[in-house]
Structure 1
């Protein structure tokens, strides 16, 4: 089964503070689509160093959304990109798609 984004970590750190949860989610909902677009544009333009920088930002959001394996993959992919290796691109794209679908559902 594919790992699915969730709100467990956000709920845990919020201590039940719904206002905090909403603000935190709002930040993710604002930043993630921009970062995803930036990543894809850099990748398309073969600017792998910049792609790696964006993956670095995205990986923290993956951890926050409970994607432990996705976070680990992002760490490896970020390093690979620095050396011109894009073999994890498809797997990373699947993770990005699952996060995109998730944040659209929680609006």
Structure 2
């Protein structure tokens, strides 16, 4: 099960709540737009544009403690840049997007 967390953000903030809140707000502000752009690019099936979206989003995975999902996104991005499509990795990526979307509503 994909379970985002704030452990890495807590490490970065080092107990400073204003830094913690700033980092969380950046993710809350950027993630929905990046996710929407990803799904818009899927409609065009332009693999290079999809790869660029995956590249931007994958860093949110890492920040939210989703290392396995981050590593899968790295592979997905590389395959997309090589004009390959991997349905399994894409499905995993989209499941992670859904988990993050749900999680962001709770923090």
Structure 1 length normalisation: TM-score?
A: 0.94
Confirm whether residue 84 of structure 1 aligns to residue 55 of structure 2. no
The CA deviation string for residues 23-60 of structure 1, in whole angstroms up to 9 with x for no partner, is 10100001000000001110121111111001101111
The alpha-carbon deviation at position 3 of structure 1 amounts to: 2.8
The alpha-carbon deviation at position 84 of structure 1 amounts to: 3.1
List gaps (5 residues or longer) in structure 1.
none
Aligned to 1:8: 7
How many aligned positions are there?
105
Structure 2 length normalisation: TM-score?
A: 0.94
Do 1:6 and 1:65's aligned partners in 2 also have CA atoms closer than 8 Å?
yes
Confirm whether residue 56 of structure 1 aligns to residue 55 of structure 2. yes
Give the distance between the partners of 2:17 and 2:106, measured in 1 at CA.
17
The CA deviation string for residues 43-94 of structure 1, in whole angstroms up to 9 with x for no partner, is 1211111110011011111000000101001101111111231422111110
Give the distance between the partners of 1:100 and 1:59, measured in 2 at CA.
14
List gaps (5 residues or longer) in structure 2.
none
